[in-house]
């Protein structure tokens, strides 16, 4: 059961990173002040440990590794392999895997995923 919990965690972390990034980029492109958006999101239902810790790093463009892209890629590949055996589509995880793959292909595998 430990491996299943680890893989489930990787699904949640990967998708959470994706949602944080999309929310912040949307707000910034729409002209909002990033720090005010962050404050608003942290005060609502979107708040979480990841939002408290990772979103400020994103705004500072701090991509120092907490967990490297190449390791996230490995773990999400394991998730997708297990899901395939269960005949379980995981479209959000598959999208997240592809987006991390783009970073990896740009030689950013040692950069942080922000976790």
Give 63: exposed, middle or buried? Use CB within 10 Å, 0-12, 13-18, 19+.
middle
Flag whether 115 is in a domain.
no
Q: What is the CATH number of the domain that holds 35?
A: 1.10.1040.10
Flag whether 35 is in a domain.
yes
pTM: 0.79
Of the pLDDT bands very low, low, confident and very high (cuts 50, 70, 90), residue 16 is: confident
pLDDT digits (tens, 9 = 90+) for 49-88: 878 887 888 788 876 767 777 888 889 999 999 999 999 9
Rounded CA-CA distance 114/53 in Å is 9
Rounded CA-CA distance 95/71 in Å is 16
Flag whether 81 is in a domain.
yes
Residue 6 annotated among the catalytic residues of the structure: yes
Flag whether 111 is in a domain.
no
Flag whether 63 is in a domain.
yes
Query: Given 6, 29, 57, 85, which residue is catalytic?
Result: 6
Quickly tell me which residue has 């590794």 as its tokens. Answer: 65
Q: How many domains does the chain have?
A: 1
**What's the pLDDT at 80?**
96
Flag whether 14 is in a domain.
yes
Domain that holds residue 43: 2-105
Flag whether 52 is in a domain.
yes
The mean-pLDDT minimum among 6-10, 18-22, 33-37, 55-59 falls in 55-59
Flag whether 110 is in a domain.
no
């Amino acid at each position: 059961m430990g491996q299943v919990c680890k893989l489930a965690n990787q699904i949640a972390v990967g998708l959470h990173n994706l949602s944080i990034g999309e929310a912040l980029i949307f707000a910034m492109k729409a002209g909002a002040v990033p720090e005010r958006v962050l404050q608003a999101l942290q005060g609502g239902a979107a708040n979480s440990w990841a939002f408290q810790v990772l979103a400020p790093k994103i705004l500072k463009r701090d991509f120092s590794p907490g967990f490297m892209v190449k390791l996230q890629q490995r773990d999400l590949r394991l998730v997708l392999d297990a899901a395939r055996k269960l005949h379980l589509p995981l479209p959000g995880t598959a999208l997240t895997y592809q987006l991390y793959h783009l970073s990896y292909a740009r030689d950013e595998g040692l950069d942080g995923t922000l976790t």
